[in-house]
Amino acid sequence: MGAAKGSGSVYKTEQGWRGAIAVNGRRRYVSGPTKTIVAQKLREIQRQAEDGFVQTGRTPKLGEWVEHWMTATEGKHTIKTHDGYKQIVERYLPGWLAQIPLNKLEPEQLEEAYSDLTKKKLSGSTIYQLHSVIRASLSLAVKRGRVPTNAAKLVVDPPSSKPAKVKPFSNADLDRIYEVLEDETLRPRWHMALELGPRPGEAIAIEWPHVNFADGSIRIEQQLQVIDKQLRLVPYTKARADSENVGREIPLLGHIADQLRTLRKTQLEHMASPKWNADWHDVDEKPGTAHAFVFTSQRRLGQPINPIADYRQWHRILTAAGLPLSKPYRARHTAASNMIAAGIDLTVVAEILGHADINMLIRVYAHAIEERKKAAGAMLEAAFATLHADKLSKVA
């Protein structure tokens, strides 16, 4: 019986068996030790063609494809996000895994790589980021017909990004921090962080035109970040409604406004000094671009604060206050927790913090919301007791 139309042909050679089939006007060839194996390969090619998946040309290796994906999607990500992807891949994608062709990649190989990284004490969130990049790049490979399935989606127990539990500062801790904030150039920076919770990069990127003393507000519209070892000014875009990095206004508290007025007066005095130098611009900006940062370097007056220097300054403050070292984000966590505990509407808290939606707030600050729920329960119980005090006394 002849082969079915479209199923290709199989023939014997000196080395074994060989088969051929026409797909989209091109002949595809396969070989194998037996006629059955070759026929199976031809049927697989035919099935893939019917499903709309036909692999053509050399199959790229995983490392090559991930790099291609990052280049192709660079415009869809912020500069910081793209740089983060780049560093994750360069540092943590195992060399042996990067060398595997896409069509040979198996979920078991990804599981082995993640297990090895875990044994090396790499954090779960870092492994999760690597997994996310691989999964996203393979999704593109599936759409392009490079592979039929996404191996990353078949991983049995994929890495998960569980945010570390951060305990907010107690009132006693805050008192100790405030006591050591004697420097007028530091006081508004960290009062703002501990009470309004801007991200560290957002706080040091605030410029005087963003501060509205009359309206009682501060405009958050950019960040200072270190990218590729360079200090970069990253503007926020309002167009990306799905992003957390969206420009917003936060309230200017009265005592912070007073601190900023004092700081502004001191800066004006420093401007008369030959040490004052505000000539700084981002690499994408033209020379001579003017910036008037609220918080400037203590060593280089007028220059923006490098996030690394800001981080070290925070540690010096904690050391002076006699408190254990922690990341500056603990200040943001404290501000959020205290706003929630004060009964401020969660939508308003999310807006002040710059979260994309209230769900993010609920996930990150679940502990504070639980405490608020308990307090609400106690208030409801007290209200019930007050309304029905006469009835309760009769029962007693």
Can you say whether the dihedral through the CA atoms of 13, 18, 22, 28 is positive or negative?
negative
Render pLDDT for 361-386 as a digit per residue (tens, 0 to 9): 777 776 666 665 566 666 666 776 77
Fold (topology level) of 171-330: hpI Integrase; Chain A (1.10.443)
Whether the Cβ atoms of residue 203 and residue 47 lie closer than 8 Å to each other: no
In the chain, which segments carry CATH 1.10.443.10?
Answer: 171-330
Residue 200: predicted pLDDT: 95
Residue 240: predicted pLDDT: 42
Residue 78: predicted pLDDT: 76
Whether the Cβ atoms of residue 308 and residue 204 lie closer than 8 Å to each other: no
List, for the chain, all residue ranges whose pLDDT scores fall below the cut of 70: 1-7, 24-25, 48-58, 161-165, 237-246, 366-381, 384, 388-396
Render pLDDT for 53-64 as a digit per residue (tens, 0 to 9): 555 556 889 999
Query: Rounded to whole angstroms, how far apart are CA atoms 216 and 172?
Result: 28
β-pairing verdict for 217-220 and 222-227: unpaired
Render pLDDT for 83-100 as a digit per residue (tens, 0 to 9): 888 889 999 999 999 999
Q: Which CATH superfamily is domain 62-154 in?
A: Tyrosine recombinase, N-terminal domain (1.10.150.130)
Sheet with 17-23, edge to edge strand ranges: 9-12, 17-23, 26-32
